[in-house]
Structure 1
Amino acid sequence: MKLKIRQFWLFIFSCFLVLLSSVVFHSPTLAHWADLAVAEITVNPTKTQMVITFPTDLVSFADDNRDGQLSSQEVTNHKGELEKFIGEKIRLQNETSTDGSLVVAFSRSLPKNLQNNVNTHTTLELTYNWSQPVTELYLNYDLFLPNVSTARCLATVTQGGETQNLVLSPEKKEFALIKGSVWQQIGSFILLGIEHILSGYDHVLFLVSLLMLGGGLGYLLKVVTAFTISHSVTLSLAVLNIVTLPSQFVESAIALSIVYVAGENFWRKDIKGRWILTFIFGLVHGLGFAGILKETHLSQGNLALSLASFNIGVEIGQIIIVCLAFAILHTLRKYPWELNLRRVLSAGVVAIGLFWFVQRAFGLFA
């Protein structure tokens, strides 16, 4: 009886400690537009046009009324400054390393998913001109919020009747826009998938919690396979707009899945059939994975390739997480205090999951 009472208070203390730290040190748990940009690039022989939507904070010097979006008048008033600044951040060079002459204009072509966030982003039309037709064209993109590791620009490039989707990041910001290899598209979306799951702390905690009860390689393979199949299905259906659910509902459900799996570690005695639970909850997590792709206007012609590459990246990141967690937990099993440690960790995950659920479902602690 004393042991059960001690376990109960250990659970309560762990929940309180982790919940407190979550409130004090929490970071945003949802994928927001705050650090994301979207560009539609059309390449012609002597002219390349780019309609780009990006965080207004990057050009705050031109936001005279501080409303979070540049107006047509503000773009006109600061045209020279904008062309100088953007010309340094987004460079287009031909085969002789000659920069295109840049003209910046106001645009109202806000992406549909941004209509409710017009106080954070600005859309501009950039036109780069050359005196002679270009045979090669290279993009060097550096318009990112400083010191933001998750900053990205998802670009759709149309040239000569062919379309390509690219993910631009602070680590990968140079691409060929003419005669570009398909591997640059595949590679950029694989990296996006890896980064998306490694930075998706809710998905990480869900996977780690599934391993808390132990199990051998057979169980590990079942967990990975079940999660892979289920989230791949809903990821594809969501991106193709076959299945659509409110993001608030999806993110709240993901939080509850974490709470349930971590809480189950206290009363569940074995892992038999737990992979079925993984499959069911994986369907919800797949809808969460789709968020970043649904928020962009990816080319329908290359959507399958982008989706497959992104999914491969998610799988690579998932395997990294599961293998590391499995190795660490397996090593700890030889210590007598290992059971209490797993309970403390599970209690902490329950607390974090509950915090995220309240935050996402009711918009509190934001």
Structure 2
Amino acid sequence: MNARLILLTLAFVFAWLPPVASAHKESDAYLSLRTDPANDHVLHGQWDIALRDLDFAIGLDGNHDGAITWGEVQSRREAIERYALQRLAITGDGLQCELSPTAQLIDEHTDGAYAVLRFDALCDKNIPSTLGVVYQLMADLDPYHRGIVTFHAGERTAGAVLGPDQPTATLNLRKPDRWNEFTSFVSDGIWHIWTGLDHILFLLSLLLPAVLIRRRADDGWRKGTVVAEGSGTLMALAGQPPHYRWEAATGLWPVFLDVLKVVSAFTVSHSVTLSLAVLGIVALPSRLVESGIALSVMVAAFNNLYPVVRQRTWLIAFAFGFIHGLGFASALTGLQLPPAAMAASLGGFNVGVEIGQEAIVLAFLPLAYLLRRTRFYRIGVLRVGSVLICVIAALWLVQRAFDVAIPGFSAFL
């Protein structure tokens, strides 16, 4: 295979992916504000910030051994408080509230250790019904960082998702804007899947053969060592396997139905575990979840080379969708909301994931259908693309399962 075909393959498979897609846990923080029933001028705040983000921003790992200790966090306590609170502004009815730190702790989330920064916000007026928040944490370092902000006053709650592209929010406790909360989480769900390269490659692996049909060749049974055209890989087989080849699908409608089954199966299963995890019913360690996602990508791509599941690809999507749902849920596990607000947040995020997923399908399917009869697609895209995805997923699996860093692979982390 010549270099030109390989370059064309890489362009086809990866050019339309988000330019800075990331396969690791996204940069998230959780900011909670509560009124003080004994002092109507004070808000109590708690800000959970991932230690990995703080280490990237200001440096916590003093001895550079890859492990951040409580002593190292304590030694940087003032730097953490200064870095975080300088990037947060709270106003009550337009008047600035003064922020002062009160305590700093460590808490374990499903995706690792977080610094828990507690602070008070002293406002000039009684705690107002309308609160303004300006959130700029990581704004100059990570364009995809987001902060989930919740404001609690008794039984009333308001919330928003903020980040570099939308750093401000106005939270109204008298009349919480559930629609804006819903749409902010829709946007968050879209970006979650668009910046999750592992989720994209899993879906892409399932879509690659959708415009082709695997048929048995007419030359009957072969003995000994054969070349399998469907995979392009030399296989030493002791028995007498039937010989198969990939052919272009004859119509758009069967292709559409096949894709619909795959996407629907993935949607159903990941929605189940997403909901169960966010509600606290199911919980698995982040390393196990992320390793399972890497394994799912590898299996889906490997099935394109050595098809074990030939007719019902949607079964792969359904089976592994459960583990992907737990991966999606990691974006919302820090939420502590009453039922109405949780429904808006969870529903909006799930809708956003589906919109992002459908956008990927709509971007890929028409081009793949047009190219399905070409040797470039059957060999370059399906074979080489699946091999590349297998290699990337295998490296992810090693890194995530054994917590090791592979030199030169940081771009795909």
Q: What range describes the TM-score normalised by the shorter chain of this pair?
A: 0.7 to 0.9
- Verify the 8 A CA contact 1:57 1:68 in the aligned structure 2: no
| CA gap 1:256/1:139 in 2 versus in 1, 3 angstroms | same
Deviation at 1:357, TM superposition (A): 0.9
More helix by share: 1
Q: Which deviations, in whole Å up to 9, do the C-alpha atoms of 1:232-260 show, x marking residues without a partner?
A: 01111122222222222222121111111
Could you tell me which residue of structure 2 aligns to residue 292 of structure 1? 331
Given candidates 69, 72, 81, the residue that maps to 2:73 is 69
Kindly indicate whether the alpha-carbon contact (under 8 Å) linking 1:62 and 1:70 is maintained by their aligned counterparts in 2.
no
**Alpha-carbon offset, residue 59 of structure 1:** 8.1
Q: Secondary structure at the match of 2:356?
A: helix
RCO (CA 8 Å, sep 6+): is it higher in 1 or 2?
1
Alignment of 1:150 onto 2:188: no
SS of residue matched to 2:375: coil
Q: Percent identity?
A: 31
Determine which of 262, 277, 285 is the counterpart of 1:246.
285
Secondary structure of the equivalent of 1:40?
Answer: strand
Query: Match of 1:274?
Result: 313
Q: Which runs of 5+ in 2 are unaligned?
A: 14-19, 212-254, 407-413
TM-score, normalised by the number of residues in structure 1: 0.79
Report 1:320-339 matches (<5 A): 320-339=359-378
Letter in 2 for 1:52: W
Distance 1:217 1:64 in 2: 55
1:177 positional shift: 2.1
Matched, 1:213 2:213: no
Aligned residues between the structures: 335
**2:388 paired residue among 348, 359, 363:** 348
Distance change >3 Å, CA 129–CA 63, structure 1 → 2 = farther
Alignment correspondent of 2:48 = 53
Which residue of structure 1 lines up, in the alignment, with residue 267 of structure 2?
228
Task: Kindly indicate which of the two structures has a greater share of residues assigned to strand.
Answer: 2
- Residue 93 (1) aligns with residue 91 (2): yes
Report Cα offsets for 1:268-317 as digits up to 9, x if no partner: 399522212211111121121112222x1432433232111111111111
Shift of 1:160: 4.8
2:30 is matched with which residue: 17, 22, 38? Answer: 38
Match among 156, 168, 179 for residue 162 of structure 1: 156
Residues 1:130 and 1:226: Cα distance change in structure 2 (over 3 Å): same
Measured after TM superposition, the shift of residue 229 of structure 1 is 0.4
Q: Offset at 1:219?
A: 0.8
Query: Which region of structure 1 is more displaced relative to structure 2, 199-208 or 356-365?
Result: 356-365
Task: Give the Cα separation in 2 of the matches to 1:94 and 1:246.
Answer: 39
Amino acid paired to 1:299? L
Are 1:141 and 2:170 matched, yes or no?
no
- 1:28 CA drift (Å): 6.4
Query: Which string of whole-angstrom CA distances, capped at 9 and with x for unpartnered residues, describes residues 156-200 of structure 1?
Result: 211252123422111122212224411221122111111111111
Between 1:61-70 and 1:272-281, the stretch displaced more is: 61-70
Cα root mean square deviation, aligned: 3.6
2:131 corresponds to 1:127: no
Q: Determine helix, strand or coil for the equivalent of 1:107.
A: strand
2:347 to 289, 308, 320: 308
Unaligned runs of 5+ in 1: 1-5, 19-25
Task: Find the residue that maps to 1:147 and give its secondary structure.
Answer: coil
* Larger Rg over CA atoms: 2
Letter in 2 for 1:186: F
Specify the code of the residue in structure 1 equivalent to 2:101: A
- Give the 3-state SS of the residue equivalent to 1:124 in structure 2: strand
Distance verdict in 2 for CA 1:92–1:221, change over 3 Å: same
> Which residue number corresponds to residue 104 of structure 1?
100
Instruction: Tell whether 2:182 aligns with 1:186.
Output: yes
Closer, same or farther: CA 116–93 of 1 in aligned 2, 3 Å: closer
The residue type paired with residue 87 of structure 2 is: K
Give the 3 Å change call, closer, same or farther, for CA 61–346 of structure 1 in structure 2: closer
In structure 2, the CA distance between the partners of 1:270 and 1:113, relative to structure 1 (3 Å rule), is: closer
| 1:56-80 Cα deviation digits (max 9, x unpaired) | 4598499999965356x954xx89x
For 2:110 and 2:305, the matched residues in 1 are separated by 43
Q: 1:168 to 1:357 in 2, by over 3 A?
A: same
CA apart distance, 1:225: 0.7
Contact 2:148 2:161 in 1 (8 A): yes
Checking the alignment, whether the CA contact within 8 Å between 2:102 and 2:119 is kept in structure 1 is yes
Cα offset, 1:30, TM superposition: 2.2
Letter in 1 for 2:89: R
Tell me: CA distance 1:60–1:343, structure 2 relative to 1, closer, same or farther (3 Å). Answer: closer
Structure 1 residues 60 and 106 mapped into 2: Cα distance closer, same or farther (>3 Å)?
A: farther
1:361 aligns with 2:401: yes
Name the structure 1 match of 2:113. Answer: 117
Deviation at 1:231, TM superposition (A): 0.6
TM-superposed deviation, 1:333 = 1.7
Distance 1:74 1:139 in 2: 24
Label 1:345 to 1:111 Cα distance change in 2 as closer, same or farther (>3 A). same
Deviations 1:330-359 (A, max 9, x none): 122243322111211011111111111111
> For residues 114 and 345 of structure 1, do their structure 2 counterparts lie closer, same or farther at Cα, with a shift above 3 Å needed?
closer
Q: Residue 23 of structure 1 aligns with which residue?
A: none
